[in-house]
Amino acid sequence: MISMQPSRDDPARTQLLRDARTAAQVANAIASPALASALGYLELMADNLLLPDELRIRAREAALQVAEAAVHLECLPELIEFKEPQAAMPAVDGNGELLL
């Protein structure tokens, strides 16, 4: 099945792109602070010598996984700021004739 993308001038496509940017902004706004907070608490646990070694080891492993998730969020600003390249205008000469 071949699917064709709607034209750049299609209002539905414009709205879809706007919605995608909004979704990326919401994801970033929700996930970034939560991951930063979780990472902070896990690092506190991992560094607390009063806790059992096994718990500290698991907290360190969890902190590494949370940090990895935070790295994946770094692409969200690129999605939010995405601008579709403009279609190239055909080249014309001084008489308005299409140049090939």
In this prediction the pTM is 0.63
Q: 84, 18 in Cβ contact below 8 A?
A: no
pLDDT at 21 over 60: yes
Secondary structure class of 98 (helix, strand, coil): strand
The candidate with the shortest Cα–Cα distance to 78, out of 29, 31, 21, is: 21
Give 26-76 pLDDT, tens digit per residue.
999 999 999 999 999 999 999 999 999 999 999 999 999 999 999 988 888
Q: What are the domain boundaries of the chain?
A: 11-80
User: Which whole-number Å values give the CA distances from 12 to 18, 46, 55, 68, in the listed order?
Assistant: 10, 49, 51, 35
Give 67-95 pLDDT, tens digit per residue.
999 998 888 888 788 777 665 555 666 67
pLDDT for 47: 98
Q: 41, 48 in Cβ contact below 8 A?
A: no
